[in-house]
Amino acid sequence: MNAELIPLNRFEGRFRAALMFEDAQSLLGMTRTESRAFLHTAREEGFRGQYEKTCLLRYDQGKSRLLIAGLGKRKEFEPDRIRVAAAMLIRDAEKMEVRQLGLLLAKAVPSGLPGFVEAAVHGAILAAYHYTEHRKLKDDDPRPPDDLFLCLPKGQAATKTLKRAVAEARAVADAVCYTRDLVNEPPSEKSPEKIAELATWLAKKGRISVQVLHKAELEKQGMNGILRVGAGSHEPPCLVHLHYKPKKARKTVCLVGKGITFDSGGLSLKPSTGMDAMKSDMAGAAAVLGVFKLLGDVNLPVEVHGLAPLAENLPGGSAQKPGDVLRAYSGKTVEVLNTDAEGRLILADALAFGSRLKPDVMVDMATLTGACVIAVGDEYSALFGTSRPTISALIRLGKQQGEWFWELPLVERYKSHIKSKVADIKNIGKQRVAGSIVAGLFLQEFVDKEVPWVHIDIAGPAFTQDGWDYARPGGTGVPVRTIAAWLKSL
């Protein structure tokens, strides 16, 4: 979907849209006089601007239509409500086969006009997303509008700030959609080497470089966490290292994303029910690639390393076995008691590698534990870590972006749960006890104590069967928007 900023008098379409606070005396983007007749008719239909509600009105002898979406009570306003309202407008317009939609913008919104623009573009583009790569489109398939015109209020100029807000919002939304595509792709189409090849396409001369450590290099480096997880598959594992280096970087950040391109559980085989969704076990790596797609389109004075350890976890004849001991890249030995606790093994190598890059902060993203979904549900991500400023920033910015985070503790006493009798550490703790926390403690063992670090467990919100708000069923792109906002804040 195209999103363009234009003066209201240049919009020539017959379908306009506006937002409204509950029981307000005017529509956002209209004067009270202009709004009066619309509001009277809307209230006759029982619409008062309730959050997550819409109302369709006709005017100009039925030739033109106005679609209104509610923001709820003004005192309960959050920027994400604009995204949700824009998404509802797009879905209603999609049902009515509208090709061009003009959204009235308003200055008098708590988030300000640039914030209004950003949220509206995010909500519209993300709601318009459909994954149709592998099926033949039908005539009656839903088709979102081709164009969203952001119509400026009378007397409001299209300033550089507003134009930049539109461009950046489109770039972020496109990066999220790219991430969703990677997650939604069938597992046979995204082997570790295929994902690595896609990563190389993100390279931009003088801006982004890409290095891939293939199987031979992994063996040379001693990255046995990645190697042993991928040993049961015919598809060789690899490690992707992306690097964005602006001319005057103020900080250096390392992003690490778990990339299990399909997770059968290995010899600790998962139940067949729901295994098809295990194509999403590379959502962390997909988010890293999505962020670098964004970095190719925007200018940020932050140096960023992106690491994506990639492997396919299958129960082949050469697969690692419960009871095996491996020596990770850091030199620590790991007793593997459950081959379905594999994500932490590949992340162990990547985090140790990232630590040697000496970043100011390192953040990893992983669909790591089912225990996380039990703890915080399927729309929240759990946060753990040693960087208090980063954790606070991610929670705050996530709320603004409509990506929700909840901090869980790294309980020092629980380190005893992963103490091994035959190796330095074991890869699981007590059964059904503090699974997400213990996984975080395991990862912490491979992060240099001098490197501030945050672990994000996205097991719940990275993939949805039913969809919500502006996320269609499938990959959601969490937490790309929050990471983008955080990098910008640095």
Q: Using H for helix, E for strand and C for coil, what is the string for 371-419?
A: HHHHHHCCCEEEEEECCHHHHHHHHHHHHHHCCEEEECCCCHHHHHHHC
| pLDDT value of position 109 | 84
Contacts of 295 (CB under 8 A, 6+ apart): 207, 208, 244, 304
Q: Quick one: 140 and 205 in the same domain?
A: no
Q: Is the pLDDT of residue 155 over 90?
A: no
Question: What is the pLDDT confidence band of residue 216, given thresholds at 50, 70 and 90?
Answer: very high
Q: Quick one: 235 and 341 in the same domain?
A: yes
pLDDT digits (tens, 9 = 90+) for 284-295: 999 999 999 999
pLDDT digits (tens, 9 = 90+) for 464-486: 999 999 999 999 999 999 999 99
Half-sphere exposure at residue 386, Cβ-oriented, CA atoms within 13 angstroms: 16
The CATH number assigned to the domain holding 129 equals 3.40.220.10
Quote the CA–CA distance of 425 and 444 in Å, as a whole number: 12
Instruction: Give the chain's end-to-end CA distance (angstroms, integer).
Output: 30
Contacts of 4 (CB under 8 A, 6+ apart): 147, 148, 149, 150, 166
Instruction: Tell me whether residue 168 is in a domain.
Output: no
User: Which residue do the tokens 């985090």 mark?
Assistant: 351
Count: domains in the chain: 2
Instruction: Tell me whether residue 69 is in a domain.
Output: yes
Instruction: Tell me whether residue 107 is in a domain.
Output: yes
Instruction: Tell me whether residue 176 is in a domain.
Output: no
Q: Quick one: 205 and 267 in the same domain?
A: yes
pLDDT digits (tens, 9 = 90+) for 163-181: 999 999 999 999 999 999 9
Quote the CA–CA distance of 453 and 448 in Å, as a whole number: 9
Neighbours of 450 (CB within 10 A): 7
Q: Quick one: 224 and 308 in the same domain?
A: yes
User: What percent of the chain clears pLDDT 90, i.e. is strictly above it?
Assistant: 92
Mean predicted lDDT score pLDDT of the chain: 96
The CATH number assigned to the domain holding 231 equals 3.40.630.10
| pLDDT value of position 458 | 98
Q: Quick one: 308 and 434 in the same domain?
A: yes
| pLDDT value of position 106 | 87
Question: What is the pLDDT confidence band of residue 490, given thresholds at 50, 70 and 90?
Answer: very high
Mean pLDDT of 37-63: 94
| pLDDT value of position 126 | 98
Instruction: Tell me whether residue 256 is in a domain.
Output: yes
Neighbours of 317 (CB within 10 A): 6
pLDDT digits (tens, 9 = 90+) for 324-381: 999 999 999 999 999 999 999 999 999 999 999 999 999 999 999 999 999 999 999 9
String of b and e for 62-75 (b: at least 16 CB within 10 Å)? eeebbbbbbbbeee
Instruction: Tell me whether residue 180 is in a domain.
Output: no
98: phi > 0 → left, psi -120 to 50 → alpha, else beta; which? beta
Residue ending a domain, choose from 123, 158, 193: 158
Q: Quick one: which of 112, 102, 27 has its CA closest to 70?
A: 27
Asked whether 87 and 101 are in contact (CB, 8 A), the reply is no
Contacts of 477 (CB under 8 A, 6+ apart): 126, 175, 176, 177, 179, 180, 183, 287, 290, 471
Instruction: Tell me whether residue 169 is in a domain.
Output: no
Question: What is the pLDDT confidence band of residue 443, given thresholds at 50, 70 and 90?
Answer: very high
pLDDT digits (tens, 9 = 90+) for 222-253: 999 999 999 999 999 999 999 999 988 989 99
Beta bridge partners of 210: 242
Pairing relationship of beta strands 453-457 and 380-385 according to DSSP bridges: antiparallel
Cα 250 from chain centroid (whole Å): 24
Contacts of 271 (CB under 8 A, 6+ apart): none
Q: Which residues are catalytic?
A: 270, 344
| pLDDT value of position 139 | 84
pLDDT digits (tens, 9 = 90+) for 27-46: 999 988 999 999 999 999 99
Residue ending a domain, choose from 140, 158, 176: 158
Instruction: Tell me whether residue 172 is in a domain.
Output: no
Structure tokens at 56: 């369709």
Quote the CA–CA distance of 253 and 94 in Å, as a whole number: 40
| pLDDT value of position 369 | 98
Q: Quick one: which of 183, 213, 189 has its CA closest to 200?
A: 213
Structural domain boundaries, residue 421: 185-489
Residue ending a domain, choose from 139, 158, 177: 158
pLDDT digits (tens, 9 = 90+) for 89-127: 999 999 999 999 999 998 778 889 999 999 999 999 999
Question: What is the pLDDT confidence band of residue 433, given thresholds at 50, 70 and 90?
Answer: very high
Q: What is the DSSP letter of 249?
A: -
Q: Quick one: 454 and 329 in the same domain?
A: yes
Q: Is the pLDDT of residue 62 over 90?
A: no
Contacts of 485 (CB under 8 A, 6+ apart): 397, 400, 401
Q: Quick one: 154 and 193 in the same domain?
A: no
Q: Quick one: 125 and 264 in the same domain?
A: no
Structure tokens at 186: 């069938």
pTM (two decimals): 0.97
| pLDDT value of position 194 | 98
Q: Quick one: 326 and 428 in the same domain?
A: yes
Structure tokens at 182: 């990677």
Q: Quick one: 269 and 400 in the same domain?
A: yes
Q: Quick one: 431 and 473 in the same domain?
A: yes
Quote the CA–CA distance of 211 and 43 in Å, as a whole number: 60
Q: Quick one: 27 and 137 in the same domain?
A: yes
Structure tokens at 173: 């939304």
